[in-house]
Amino acid sequence: MPDRTARDIVVLAAHPDLARSHATRTLLDVLRASPAADRVDLRDLYRLYPDFHIHIEAEQQALEAARLVVMLHPIYWYSMPALQKLWLDEVLRLGWAYGPGGAALHDKDFWLVASTGGGVEAYAQGGHNHHAIGEFLLPYQQSAKTCGMHYLPPQILHGAHRATDADITAHAELFVKRLQRYPEWCQSLAEPAVGDEEAVALDERPPMFSTLDGGSPE
């Protein structure tokens, strides 16, 4: 059994306006109040780096100590918020995270936990966004592969703008349950095919909601 007292999970939370967030803020609140918090190094990037000056060595040390790396953020323009992208550019350096000698992240697990404005039906051929959500997540999948990491099935909350408190609480509780049960819940999961964010048992899936992309924070 893994040492549950060690901080073997790093959660990279990236929300540009967390005070106005519903989904992301609820996930963080539930995490902080749960037993899973004891094994999580929670890094609120917009709080740590409001000036966008990232402490690269500190971030690399956090990653080296972790077995599971979690990115937690809303999907912005089919991608990640700006500071999370800057973090990716600056922290995952050639010779450290990938390329010759870059083995710092090899065999670690990568997990995306995200929310969208659009409902599940918007992410389909003929839908508002014309493509499955997994196609928009290919850069995450390939980035994990480039760093020698295992890409776990993402947990996606669709239609976050219109989700009820109960919906978002259920999403948050599933998130924390998986952190508490890591690595047991993901040990048997192969890397999913493109668009296969649903490759988790029915009782483990996040709720799905229906709405087109809106403008309020997730």
What are the 10-residue block averages of pLDDT along the chain, 218 residues in total?
70 96 96 97 98 98 98 95 98 97 98 89 84 93 98 94 92 97 82 38 32 35
Nearest-5° angle of CA 13, CA 182, CA 14?
A: 5
C-alpha–C-alpha distance, residues 6 and 23, integer Å = 27
What is each CA distance from 153 to 50, 68, 156, in whole angstroms?
A: 30, 13, 9
The predicted structure's pLDDT at residue 118: 80
Nearest to 40 by CA among 17, 15, 16, 62: 62
Q: Which long-range contacts link 22-26 to residues 24+ away (Cβ below 8 Å)?
A: 22/160, 22/163, 22/168, 22/217, 22/218, 23/74, 23/115, 23/157, 23/160, 23/163, 23/168, 23/171, 23/218, 24/72, 24/73, 24/74, 24/115, 24/217, 24/218, 26/168, 26/169, 26/171, 26/172
The predicted structure's pLDDT at residue 12: 98
C-alpha–C-alpha distance, residues 55 and 49, integer Å = 8
Fold (topology level) of 9-204: Rossmann fold (3.40.50)
Instruction: Report yes or no on whether pTM surpasses 0.75.
Output: yes
C-alpha–C-alpha distance, residues 150 and 111, integer Å = 9
C-alpha–C-alpha distance, residues 67 and 51, integer Å = 28
DSSP code of residue 154: P
The predicted structure's pLDDT at residue 199: 32
DSSP string, 80-145: --HHHHHHHHHHS-BTTTBSTT--TTTT-EEEEEEE-SS-GGGSSTTSTTSS-HHHHTHHHHHHHH
The predicted structure's pLDDT at residue 205: 33
The predicted structure's pLDDT at residue 105: 98
